[in-house]
């Protein structure tokens, strides 16, 4: 076999560089899409917690016919173990709050805010919050978001 035959079989440096560039671009796209999917999963977890808080407050509303006892403590929001954190904490990606609407009777606003620091790593790079507004008087709800959600 001559040296010219070996040279014809081998890949050139340009061909190798093109293959490496294509693989790099595909890997970058995959990493970005993976990051988006992970953040969506974290948002789904926060929506699940908001749904739990809504149900707990509904139990209180059905018992008392008002939401005055739908406090963060009664709903399990706080910094004690086993509660949903009301501040960024290393065990959660979001912090949670529950507030009675000052403008309307029997309306609660539950909020999950993405931790930018001090939360479960990795912390978010962009602000975001998910809000669930419930009118227990007429049974309507509204889910909204700000930022990356």
| More confident site: 121 or 51 | 51
Q: Give tens-digit pLDDT for 50-92.
A: 999 999 999 999 999 989 999 999 999 999 988 999 998 888 8
Q: In which band, very low, low, confident or very high, does the pLDDT at 136 lie, cut at 50, 70 and 90?
A: very high
| pLDDT for the residue numbered 4 | 60
Residues 6 or more apart in contact with residue 45 via CB below 8 angstroms: 93, 94
Q: If you search the block for the tokens 């990606």, which residue do you land on? A: 93
Average pLDDT along the chain: 89
pLDDT at site 7:
54
- Residue 133 burial by Cβ neighbours in a 10 Å radius (0-12, 13-18, 19+): middle
Triad 30, 34, 38: Cα angle to 5°:
175
Give the chain's length.
149
Average confidence (pLDDT) over 13-33: 95
Give the pTM.
0.79
């Amino acid at each position: 076999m001559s040296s010219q035959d070996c040279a014809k079989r081998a890949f050139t440096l340009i061909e190798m560089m093109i293959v490496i560039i294509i693989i790099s671009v595909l890997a970058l796209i995959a990493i970005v899409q993976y990051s988006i999917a992970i953040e969506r999963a974290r948002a789904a977890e926060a929506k699940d917690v908001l749904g739990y808080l809504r149900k707990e407050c509904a139990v209180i509303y059905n018992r008392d016919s008002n939401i005055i006892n739908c406090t963060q403590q009664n709903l399990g929001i706080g910094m004690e173990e086993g509660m949903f954190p009301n501040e960024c904490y290393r065990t959660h990606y979001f912090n949670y709050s529950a507030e009675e609407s000052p403008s309307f009777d029997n309306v609660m606003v539950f909020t999950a805010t993405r931790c930018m620091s001090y939360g479960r790593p990795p912390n978010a790079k962009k602000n975001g919050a998910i809000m669930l507004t419930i009118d227990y008087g007429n049974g309507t709800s509204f889910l909204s978001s700000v930022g990356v959600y």
